[in-house]
Amino acid sequence: MAAFIDHETEEYEQRRRERAMRRALHEQEQREREKKLRRYIIITVTSIAVTLIVAILIIVGISVARENREAIGTRTTEVDAEAELAEGGDPMGSLYDDEVKVPIPEDAPEPVMITLSEDALPDGAAGEWLGLGPQELNTTTDDDTDSVSAAVDSGYAILISLSDNKVLAARQPHTLMYPASMTKVMTVLVAAEHLESEDYLNDVFTITQAIEGFSYDNGCSNVGFSVDEKVTVEDLFYGTILPSGADAAMGLAEYIAGDQETFVAMMNEKAEELGLSGSTHFANCIGIYDDENYTTPADMAVIMNAAINNPLCFKVLSAHTYTTTHTYYHPEGITVSNWFLRRIEDKQDTGVVYCGKTGFVNESLNCAVSYAVDEEGKGYICCTGYGHGGWKVIYDHVALYSKYFDPSGYQEVSADEAPEGENPEGDAAN
């Protein structure tokens, strides 16, 4: 009996040990499976995370590259998107965007670049046929000065007859305003006066990363020069005015003065020389908004008068189109346009608008200064500010000029009453 019990006990213990071993083996296999599962999960999650990160980096890289191309190759300006939508249009506007199709009459003449010989533009008065006025321009209104018609949208305006040296019409002409890119008229004037001769227009200037970076960071319009591109000083002059290029304006400032700060000091010295130091001050050569970058419509007219009396400035301000020097980066050059001149020319029924410069920042809205000559060869300067659209500014200048060019045929048409399709709300021209 004892032997039987011992045998049963031994078998029981053997089975118990076998069960324990099987449990241990099962638990070990379970741990191995869990460990493999964890490794699989970690590898899978890591792979997904890496894939997502790579995808995000690719998307961000494409976006940054596109923004950089747009910052260099297209013309932008400081705008408020909500204000843009509130105005029902595009404050950045199509005046500097060839992709926006603005209706132009089929019979409109093909724009051409105006070139003037030295004989046509002698030193000083620069020729009576151009209708240029005195060096010291009168901007004081009197009892004969007309109030600007309610048909004119711009909040500030002044129209001066150069032949009579008299203010014909005005609306808050001595109110401080931000000149936006009208600033660049003073930029090219100062640069032209400090250029020893037009031979230096062939000098070469290299566009730097600092210039492109500053322009991009401040949302400025540009010619489209590339970093390290070697362009001529003449390219910088035309690039500053026609497409309102900040890259060209900064290049011009650095070429003339070494840096923008020194050049801006020269601009303020010129303002003082013109008798404007009490109401005009510049903080940059581009027109970027700054509380210390201000002027008045009357002062801007004085600056334009000084500019059109300078032969080089006149040629630049009166050019409708210009193609920059052929370079490695732009083998065919960059063709730029003064859209204000190109689009006002077929709106004028009488006289010719020879020169013009527009501007836009949120704080100034749309502004413009221009020079025109009537059928009798008499010259006029017009400056408007705080307009609510690039096309409205054009129609404001047309209205002001037309009233005095041909009073008998003048019909009062405001920008709001312009033909449908020819007054895109919010167009700007910085």
At 109-143, the pLDDT tens digits run: 333 333 344 444 433 334 444 667 677 899 999 99
DSSP letter string, 28-79: HHHHHHHHHHHHHHHHHHHHHHHHHHHHHHHHHHHHHHHHHHHHHHS-----
Helices 246-257 and 209-217: crossing angle, nearest 10°? 130
pLDDT mean over 9-31: 75
Question: Does the structure show a pLDDT above 90 at 160?
Answer: yes
CA 101 → CA 107, 245, 348, distances in Å? Answer: 16, 21, 21
Question: Does the structure show a pLDDT above 60 at 172?
Answer: yes
**What is the predicted pLDDT for the residue at 47?**
82
> For 98-232, where are the E strands, in sequence order?
146-147, 156-161, 166-171, 204-206, 230-232
**What is the predicted pLDDT for the residue at 83?**
40
Question: Domain map of the chain by residue range?
Answer: 1-73, 81-417
**What is the predicted pLDDT for the residue at 65?**
59
Q: What is the pLDDT of residues 371-407, one digit of tens each?
A: 999 988 899 999 999 999 889 999 999 999 999 987 6
pTM given for the model? 0.70
The overall average pLDDT reported for the chain is: 80
Position 411 confidence tier, pLDDT thresholds 50, 70, 90: low
Among 357, 363, 419, CA closest to 393: 357
Instruction: Please state, in angstroms and rounded to a whole number, the distance separating the CA atoms of residues 189 and 182.
Output: 12
DSSP bridge partners of 295: 177
Question: Does the structure show a pLDDT above 80 at 99?
Answer: no
CATH topology of domain 81-417: Beta-lactamase (3.40.710)
Could you tell me which residues come within 8 angstroms of residue 223 by beta carbon, excluding any fewer than 6 positions away? 235, 239, 243, 245, 247, 248, 324, 334, 336
Question: Does the structure show a pLDDT above 80 at 302?
Answer: yes
**What is the predicted pLDDT for the residue at 333?**
94
E strand or H helix at 86, and its extent? helix 81-86
35 exposed, middle or buried (CB, 10 Å; 0-12, 13-18, 19+)?
exposed
Position 169 confidence tier, pLDDT thresholds 50, 70, 90: very high
Q: What is the pLDDT of residues 231-262, one digit of tens each?
A: 999 999 999 999 999 999 999 999 999 999 99
pLDDT mean over 69-76: 41
Position 196 confidence tier, pLDDT thresholds 50, 70, 90: confident
